[in-house]
Amino acid sequence: MNDKLFPNVARVDEIIDGWQSKSIAVLGDVMLDHYVWGSVERISPEAPVPVVEVKDETYLLGGAANVALNLKKLGCNPFVAGIIGDDSAGGELNKLFSILGVDGSGIEIDQYRPTTIKTRIVANNQQVVRADREEKREIDSDLERRMFERLESRIDDISGLIISDYGKGIITSSVLKKIIKLCRDHGVFIAVDPKDVHFRSYKQVSVITPNHLEASFAYGLKIRDEETLKEVGFGLIRMLELESILITRGAEGMALFKNDGTLHLLPTVAQKVFDVTGAGDTVISTFTAAAAGGGSLLEAAFLSNQAAGVVVGEVGTAQVDAETLRRVTTKYIEKSQ
């Protein structure tokens, strides 16, 4: 990314101030992240596996719920729509929503579906194993209708919608069709964190944010170099009639494609990488907040890249607050001048 394309410090302040208190809806797979913290000092005599001595455990918002928490930390007012089970994990999620000040009133209960839980065992600051408890079947038409009506009732109040699709059955093709039309009819910015099963249903949205593997799979061409990157990025723009696509590329940074034929490559700004868990949530949250705050697509990508550089340096699912983002971005701009 060329230095001339950096927003200056005053512009960064303007965008961050602009998104404060903006209402942004998050629709998708809400989850409970369960962390078991401990240490390893020996190998089990029963099998060649480490024995983790448990010291603590924590529960955090995960999936679409973590997207909402990212927005809250940035200063936005998120509204979450999704499905949980009638179980203790669902109760824990609702408790966390209340404690953290996240509006979970758009969440419906499916008594036949367990709340999705991801349990990560972390020892000596390294993830040892992850265990998932989930149900991936698609929700029925009644739940679809109720979820859509929750969003429809708030459509005039929201500045953006994030569709957080983890492939757990909440996001269906029919839900996507109705929600995208609703938002387009009301001029609402639509951002999608995609899954391959629904890729062809993300038509005419403002931005999708796949990683390079997801983008390669969706287009049917492996990204190997800059030429194949361009072919995949612009190919998906044409195929899905997108306004833009932001492809995250790990250590190689990000690539922003726009439907006017422009491409911007943003190098990674991460100084250290401990854990990429939740980094995609941070990217799409910051991008959408920036768009809601009056930022251009390129400015939104720049700020998303800065935010991702912060959270990958933390162990576990992390978020970045507005003042931290303002500080690290200012430092980066001043250093680059």
**Rounded Cα–Cα distance for residues 292 and 18 (Å):** 7
User: 249: helix, coil or strand?
Assistant: coil
The gap between the terminal CA atoms of the chain, to the nearest Å, is 13
Q: 183 to each of 78, 203, 227, 282, how far by Cα in Å?
A: 16, 12, 34, 22
User: 236: helix, coil or strand?
Assistant: helix
**Rounded Cα–Cα distance for residues 281 and 170 (Å):** 17
Question: What contacts 120, CB < 8 A, 6 or more positions away?
Answer: 33, 34, 35, 36, 127, 129, 130, 277, 316
Give how far the C-alpha of residue 252 lies from the chain's centroid of Cα atoms, to the nearest Å: 19
Q: Please confirm, yes or no, whether 193 is among the known catalytic residues.
A: no
Question: 38: which strand partners?
Answer: 54, 123
Please tell me which residue in 33, 103, 275, 281 is annotated as part of the active site. 281
Question: 255: which strand partners?
Answer: 247, 265
**Rounded Cα–Cα distance for residues 296 and 287 (Å):** 10
- Just list the catalytic residues: 281
